[in-house]
Amino acid sequence: MSADSSISTWHPVARSAELRLGANIVAGFAKGQEFALWRSADGAPQAWENRCPHRSVRFTLGHVMKDRLSCAYHGWQYAAGSGQCTQIPAHPDMPPPRNVCAKVFSAVDAAGMLWVHLADAEPPPLPRDDAVPPGWSFCRTLAVRADAAGARDALAARGFSADASLPAMRGALDHIDAVALVLDAQPRLAFIHLWTDAAPGTEAMKALHVAARGLRGEIEARQPAA
């Protein structure tokens, strides 16, 4: 899989650890698409369009009920996996309409990240677990006011290189080894998920945080005026 961020590939939307089993709902983005990210009772990652099909209220305002997602507005409940409406609290004896279904995207965990595939067609091969070297630590997600191509160009100028078989760029910031997973989140907004071999809480990790802020300024300075 190439590092190109198109709808035909997997997008590193969020860190896997951010989604707690059967608990929270996290907002995510890729290519302008907004997601509600959560886990069903068996731990399977779920990536849904962040819109209840009933009244278009964001699912991220609702809550997880084991294997269902409940909308905050009228409490309509939708099943994990299929997104099919399973219950309408105001009409408990009425079978939910079969055509009321949340839009569900393919989602997988790999390399410490939750990846989402946008296209309706069969997803490409799964992201490789070694996109981030085993044992490396998450540093931070850097939001930059630039498109993903601009972010990658700036990383390449810093000496980061891309492996055509991995959706990652590897290099160093302030002499600290790092892997950057670049996400095309929205127009003129990219996220850079940074991982490193530096241990949490160390001076090296602190230095990487500082270097990342400098990288953001450098990337944004390279962008043409809107």
Nearest to 136 by CA among 114, 159, 154, 112: 112
Q: What is the pLDDT of residue 94?
A: 85
pTM as predicted: 0.91
Q: What is the pLDDT of residues 171-222, one digit of tens each?
A: 999 999 999 999 999 999 999 999 999 999 999 999 999 999 999 999 998 8
Which fold is adopted by the domain 10-117?
A: Rieske Iron-sulfur Protein (2.102.10)
- The tens digit of pLDDT for each residue in 23-38 reads 899 999 999 999 999 9
Structural domain boundaries in the chain: 10-117, 130-221
pLDDT band of residue 226 (cuts 50, 70, 90) is low
Given pLDDT bands bounded at 50, 70 and 90, which one contains residue 56?
very high
Residue 138 has what pLDDT? Answer: 97
